Structure 1
Amino acid sequence: MVTAAYATYGGAYDCDVLVIGGGIIGLSTAYALTRAAPGTSVVVLEKEAGPAHHQTGRNSGVIHSGIYYRPGSLKARYAVRGAAEMVKFCAEYGLAHEVTGKLIVATDREELPRLHALVQRGRENGIPVRELGPAQIAEYEPRVRGVAAIHVGTTGVCDFGAVAAQLAEVADAAGAQIVCGEEVRAVDRRPFGVAVRTSSGRIVRARALVNCAGLHCDEVARLAGDEPAVRIVPFRGEYYELDRPELVRGLVYPVPDPAFPFLGVHLTRGIEGTVHVGPNAVPALAREGYGWSTVHPRELAATLSWPGSWRIARRHWRYGTGELYRSLSKRAFTEAVRRLLPPVAEDDLRPVAAGVRAQAVLRDGTLVDDFLIQEAPRTVHVLNAPSPAATASLPIGREVARRALAHLA
């Protein structure tokens, strides 16, 4: 049960571990803490009226296999492990899910070397991959066209918002308190513990702090007195829904450009039977900028003042121009989709809710590729956890919980 208030624990502290952020990573951390160390008192502070309002609740619902990620990286290890665990978690709690598999399709011969590299990467990560020719593509997706493809059998779909709600319920039953409607405004860290002040003026004291604030994680780190070497630069992903869902049977992806952390416009049949098309990736004008009309001057100024933002723009302006054009032109977006699915017409696409990716960027303009978890006294900061973080949330939560518990020793 998600509550709007918390009870004060006895003694000098209100809780052992305070988690900031009620998305899937924060809730998975609380879940892991209650399982790894029963009796540890945990409070989760979420600024919205309920959990999973941002990245967790605004994605395509794909349980990623781990094929894209560098062997040995946290993304590769946690995604492969997390995909299996996510399917098991959904089955255990009766949450809707399906292991569908997916196609990654090369639409021209220039993409074949990158497709073959994915085959090798998948095998290095222990993922079963089947290579397909055009006729075999049609066996899976009769209306999709490509010169070659690979089939990844361990990919699936679920509702990550429902997963987050279930994590909150289980953690609550184990004694954690999920407190909504409380935004952290100040952090006071001392050698013996951490205290935060929320938007309502409440003070919560903890022996250790975990920062899972997603789109605002770098700001929370600075509130705690730490200066992360990254800045969150928000990228909006815009989606359409296919009015003729019968055109697609499952999940269809293009071959991604390895220079970017984005997977390109893809087709995703969700657990409810609708087909989402997207996302593209354009700069958001606010951390929660789900449309061009949402502009937060302070947040935009912070993004523009970060040297890495300008270096991204200079380095990738051609790619960015194409993404902006597809954002502003439905016809251009449709043409991008037609490379994979020729029967699609502009009238087949209906706009639906967008999402925003919290992308950590270094000062030199490097897009942080892997998950990034950093520690400071009495504190664990999760500073980069975009996709496939939802897929990998259970192992990420265990790792963050392990680090937080070490600060209690």
Structure 2
Amino acid sequence: MIDVTIIGGGIVGLATALQLKQQRPDLTIVLIEKEPAVARHQTGHNSGVIHSGLYYKPGSLKATNCIRGYQLLLDFCNAEGIAYDLCGKIVVATKQEEIPQLDMLHTRGQQNGLGGLRRMSLAELREIEPHVNGVAGMFVPQTGIIDYKEVSDKYAEKFQALGGEIRLAERVEQVTPGNSISIVVTDKNRYETKLVVNCAGLYSDKIAQLTQRDAVDVRIIPFRGEYFKIRPEKEYLVKNLIYPVPDPNFPFLGVHFTRMIHGGVEAGPNAVLAFQREGYTKSDINLKELFETLSWPGFQKVAAKYWQTGLGEMYRSFSKAAFTRALQELIPDVQENDLESGGAGVRAQACDRTGGLLDDFAILETDKAINVVNAPSPAATSSLAIGQTVSEKVLARF
């Protein structure tokens, strides 16, 4: 008999497993991951940014978990010898009408406890990033860079050293909740468990439906973010991290520049609908999953509301010249031939039936299951705090 079965071996599932095992070494905990290694999807494809908590509504789960998780992450990395760099970032208003939103971010950052935020003129911005362009900006000293795959591997190593078990290359096919136990059936095994914890990322809604049947009224909509890399000889254009002022109506941060912890500079991402949940390229298409997305009433409302934004993102996906123009708003010296193809990630964005794109972390509970159904950015930065939050919910049952 297993006490807790965790589904999903991304950074949130691993952090939850580790936090649980550290707090209750006596519990039998098994983590099931469908891939042959951990951190293969959102965790392994993200841009490696340590987020400060600047953007998030004060008091929200995102804000509280990001700020708590930020310090937990740094403490963990210091203890385990994992490299990171708190290089700071600048947020740049490229036009006058973005100034009120920049002011709002400055206020929000202060409300979230960020010290050292500095409003800057263009001349001051150029002391930090000589090639940037804009009308005003802000320096955020807390932002950094890291390799979250390395962090995830260390979570897994420590969890297993404490006696936790990780089952790789097993796909969960069925969850049958019972009165005292639930049955989790994979393509290889059958597990009897007292509690299921769902951290399945891009498939979190599917797993939640297995545990709650028709009670889950959100769907994961997969958005692909495509990156370019700046050619090595032009990397001098970017010192650290350069972000635009984000569109307050859209849960994405816009194309930006990110220096990577292992070297190189990424430029992007855009945000386009992926045609399957793990659709990392334009040619990745799963007709069943695409139909599920297009037929979801919430997505139809999102598409009707944001179709112009969506078309712009799609155009940039197919036009390197258009992508370059978007980047030139921040750094005019970037030219199309300075960019070479980079990677891509897929964001699991929960969308409710009314067309709401869930902006905050969302956790649904039943007697037999705890479902993390929305854990977008800054989930990696927040991972140990989310793990702590979920662990508290688990331990209340034991």
Tell me which interval the TM-score lies in, with the shorter structure as reference length. Answer: over 0.9
TM-score, with length taken from structure 2: 0.98
Could you tell me how far apart the structure 2 residues matched to 1:78 and 1:225 are? 26
Structure 1 residues not aligned, in runs of 5+: 1-12
- Contact 1:191 1:377 survives alignment (8 Å): no
Q: Deviations over 1:274-297 (max 9, x none)?
A: 111111100000000111111111
Q: How far apart, CA to CA, are the structure 2 residues paired with 1:149 and 1:256? A: 12
Q: State the Cα distance separating 1:91 from its structure 2 match.
A: 1.6
TM-score (norm 1): 0.95
Asked if 1:253 is matched to 2:240, the reply is: no
Structure 2 counterpart of 1:20, one-letter code: I
RMSD between aligned residues: 0.8
Larger mean Cα displacement after TM superposition, 85-94 or 366-375:
85-94
Measure, in 2, the Cα distance between the counterparts of 1:154 and 1:23.
Answer: 24
2:122 to 125, 134, 137: 134
Alignment of 1:164-175 (within 5 A): 164-175=152-163
- Select 1:98's aligned residue among 85, 91, 102: 85
Q: 1:182 maps to which residue?
A: 170
Q: Secondary structure at the match of 2:356?
A: coil
SS at match of 1:259: coil
In the TM superposition, what is the alpha-carbon distance from 1:367 to its structure 2 partner? 0.3
Quote the offset at 1:405 in angstroms: 2.1
Could you tell me whether the CA contact under 8 Å between 1:289 and 1:295 is conserved in 2?
yes
Q: Could you say which residue in structure 2 is the equivalent of 1:215?
A: 202
**Aligned equivalents of 2:263 and 2:129: distance in 1?**
16
Q: Stretches of 4+ moved more than 4 A in 1?
A: none
Instruction: Give the SS at the match of 1:316.
Output: helix
Write out per-residue CA displacement over residues 236-291 of structure 1, whole angstroms, 9 at most, x where no aligned residue.
Answer: 00011111211111000000011011000010001112111111100000000111
For 2:29 and 2:199, locate their aligned partners in 1 and report how far apart those are by CA, in whole Å. 14
Question: Does the CA contact (< 8 Å) of 2:6 and 2:29 recur in 1?
Answer: yes
Identity among equivalent positions (%) equals 48
The counterpart of 2:110, out of the listed 120, 123, 136, is 123
Greater fraction of residues in helix:
2
Deviation at residue 36 of structure 1 after TM alignment: 1.1
Q: Which amino acid is the alignment partner of residue 232 of structure 1?
A: I
What is aligned with 1:362? 352
Which one of the candidate residues 85, 98, 107 is aligned to 2:94?
107
Counterparts of 2:236 and 2:191 in 1: how far apart (Å)? Answer: 51
In the alignment, the residues of structure 2 paired with residue 73 and residue 225 of structure 1 have an alpha-carbon distance, to the nearest angstrom, of 25
Question: Residue deviations 1:140-172, cap 9 Å, x none?
Answer: 000111110100111111001111100000000
Question: C-alpha deviations, 1:149-203, integer Å up to 9, x for none?
Answer: 1001111110011111000000000010011000000111101011111112x10
Name the counterpart of 2:131.
143
Counterpart selection for 1:71 from 51, 58, 66: 58
- Report the 3-state secondary structure (helix = DSSP H, G, I; strand = E; otherwise coil) of the residue aligned with 2:13: helix
Q: State the partner residue of 1:351.
A: 341
Question: How many residues are treated as equivalent by the alignment?
Answer: 394
> 1:402 Cα deviation (Å)?
1.4
- 1:325: which partner in 2? 315
Gaps of 5+ in 2: none
Distance in 1, Cα, partners of 2:107 & 2:184: 47
Deviation at 1:38, TM superposition (A): 1.5
